[in-house]
Structure 1
Amino acid sequence: MSTHRSSSRRSISTDSRMLIGIMADLETTIGFLLAGIGEVSGPELDKNFMVVKEDTPVPDMEHFFSYLCNRKNLGVIFLGSYIIPHLAQVIPHVVKTIPIILEIPTKDTIVHEMERKQGALKKMKMKIKG
């Protein structure tokens, strides 16, 4: 009796899974990659993630975002909150319901927001004392 074992890895072209795309800073992207969302496939080694640095050109961000939106196997795209203003020209043109586009806070935006709130709290305390 012969048994045929099928590979546990599926072919990307026949895979029906919905993947997650991400565009964020290095730390956030690495965190998601460690959680298993990274996918590199095809002869051109297409990726579903992009590390966006301060010096990343806006056209590169717009091009990669459009590429993610046009992929048929992406269900969600996570965007670091600091990237949203850079994509203001292309986000309004996305009319599809899938992929879902979600803004996520990154380390820098969380720290900045906490510092802003601390500053406002200090000003309020000074007004009360003075």
Structure 2
Amino acid sequence: MASNRQRNVAQKPEERMSEENDKSGSDSDLSEGDMQMYTFVDDPNVLRIAIMADAEVTLGFLLAGVGYQKDRFRNYMMVESETAQEDLEQFFLAVYRRTNIGIIILDYNTTKRLRSQIQRCHQLLPVLVTVPNKSSLTTYLDKKDRNRRLRQRDAY
């Protein structure tokens, strides 16, 4: 019976679902020891996304399924104006040094606060992506429009 469960873990999810639906028992029939057989090891080849932004942006990404928590480590930080600069820098460096983080998403205000730390970052991974939030959207678009106009002027 144990070999049958081990085989189920190695099978594709579609095959496992069809076999489990054929059984008359329910998930509650499994003991705690049997459930431990279904735990999967974190794949070191999978790169994760980290978020450092205000509450709205962070919640949006968490609702999309980006959140990750393991061994007292979270891959997200909700940054507010009251967040201490030291806490912000410590979290950024902790995320930046992790080998399983491939993208760090920062909102515009957080990027401005971490400018000195970001300038020292020269690794290929993780990629730093800046996204605008509600309060900085007009500033972000104005800066982008200004740069576009400068490029057009230089082209003539």
What band does the TM-score fall into relative to the shorter chain? 0.7 to 0.9
Matched, 1:77 2:104: yes
> Structure 1 residue 9: deviation in Å?
5.1
> Which runs of 5 or more residues in structure 2 are unaligned?
10-36, 143-156
How many Å apart are 1:111 and its aligned residue? 5.1
How many residue pairs are counted as aligned between the two chains? 113
CA distances 1:42-100 after superposition (whole Å, capped 9, x unpaired) = 1xx10100000010011111111111110100110000001112112211111110000
How many Å apart are 1:107 and its aligned residue?
1.6
Which residue of 36, 43, 51 corresponds with 2:65?
36
The structural deviation recorded for 1:33 is 0.3
Q: Aligned pair in 2 of structure 1 residues 8, 35: CA closer, same or farther (>3 Å)?
A: farther
Task: Tell me, in whole angstroms, the C-alpha distance in 2 between the residues paired with 1:78 and 1:8.
Answer: 32
Which structure: larger Rg? 2
8 Å Cα contact 2:132-2:140 kept in structure 1: no
Check the 8 A contact 2:47/2:101 in 1, yes or no: yes
CA RMSD of aligned residues (A): 2.2
Q: What is the alpha-carbon distance in structure 2 between the residues aligned to residue 110 and residue 73 of structure 1?
A: 30
Residue 17 (str. 1) matches residue 62 (str. 2): no
Counterpart of 1:128? none
TM-score, normalisation: structure 1:
0.77
Contact kept in structure 1, 2:52 and 2:106, CA below 8 Å: yes
Pairs within 5 Å for 1:1-130: 2-3=3-4, 4=6, 5-6=8-9, 10-12=40-42, 14-42=43-71, 45-110=72-137
The residue number in structure 2 matching 1:123 is none
Choose between structure 1 and 2: higher helix proportion.
2
Percent identical residues = 30
State the secondary structure of the residue aligned to 1:17.
coil
Aligned partners of 1:8 and 1:30: how far apart in 2? 29
- TM normalised by structure 2 equals 0.65
* 2:116 aligned counterpart, secondary structure: coil
